[in-house]
Amino acid sequence: MTHETFHKLVHIVLHHLKEAAPPHDLFAGGKDDWHARARLAHFLAQMPKHRADALELFQSVLDAEPNEEYAQDVEEKVYALQALSALERESEDTKEAALEHINMAIECAESTDFLYKYILRGELWADRWNLMHKLHMTEEAEAEANERIDAFAGLEDAVPHNSYLYYGYRFKAHLAAERGIVLIAKDYMHMALHAMEIPPAYEQPLADAFAAAHENAAWILREVDRATPNPAQLHWDI
């Protein structure tokens, strides 16, 4: 991508978003700054006509070396890899690349002890497990989820808001739903929610979702998801 194309895409994003546009300084580093390329890619990824540009920009940061002394720098690299994987998993032809890149995101995120501001380690692993499931590696994915869960056995009081447990149990709940085992799916989803901070306003809607008496487990879990607070807006200990 040329410098001219990069600046043209910046202006397309700013014009498209209008009042909601980010500050131009976000891209001040230009094409030669991997942070600017990644940031531009995130916005382009939301515009269907520019998904190919987003992919090109995300792929251009694969070899970028974040400064591991700063959580924000590591997080920005991880976030870009996660977004690249999300774009690639939309196509059958690039699902294996999506798995490779979410693996890179996990490796990068787990290389430090930082508590990141935006990304959740458990969500990264769930992205991996869901991709493995789609690639017919379900047994291995479920085994990994069990390993993550077992690693925190007995630590619920010390680490009450645990993204590994929330996403691990949630993955197992959805597998149980696919297998038509309604009670087990509900049990795993209850366990997932025990690892999450639940504001009082969400307690009754969740109770109503779980109270469904029919056997359509997938429908019940969809209703539970709708009643669950957005994980990105909650406090997590890990």
Domain ranges of the chain: 137-238
Closest CA to 34 of 4, 77, 71: 77
Neighbouring residues of 215: CB distance < 8 A, sequence distance ≥ 6:
180, 182
Least confident piece of the model among 19-28, 103-112, 113-122, 190-199: 113-122
The answer to whether 84 touches 97, Cβ cutoff 8 Å, is: no
98: left (phi over 0), alpha (psi -120 to 50) or beta: alpha
CA distance 203 to 221: 15
Model pLDDT for residues 4-24, shown as the tens digit of each residue: 999 999 999 999 888 888 999
Average pLDDT value for the chain: 94
CA distance 40 to 27: 7
Helix (H, G, I), strand (E, B) or coil at 194: helix
Model pLDDT for residues 174-200, shown as the tens digit of each residue: 999 999 999 999 999 999 999 999 999
Closest CA to 172 of 203, 131, 129: 129
The answer to whether 49 touches 79, Cβ cutoff 8 Å, is: no
The Cα angle at residue 179 between residues 101 and 133, in degrees rounded to 5: 10
Closest CA to 82 of 65, 99, 70, 66: 99
pTM above 0.95, yes or no: no
- Phi, psi values for residue 74, rounded to 5°: -65, -45
The answer to whether 185 touches 217, Cβ cutoff 8 Å, is: yes
CA distance 165 to 160: 10
CA distance 144 to 121: 14
CA distance 107 to 218: 31
Q: How confident is the model at residue 110 (pLDDT cuts 50, 70, 90)?
A: very high
CA distance 17 to 11: 10
CA distance 60 to 41: 10
Model pLDDT for residues 47-104, shown as the tens digit of each residue: 999 999 999 999 999 999 999 888 899 999 999 999 999 999 999 999 999 999 999 9
CA distance 160 to 200: 16
Integer angstrom CA distances of residue 49 from 13, 41, 84, 87, 183: 12, 13, 16, 13, 43
Give the whole-number percent of the chain exceeding pLDDT 90: 84
Q: Which pLDDT value is given to residue 21?
A: 86
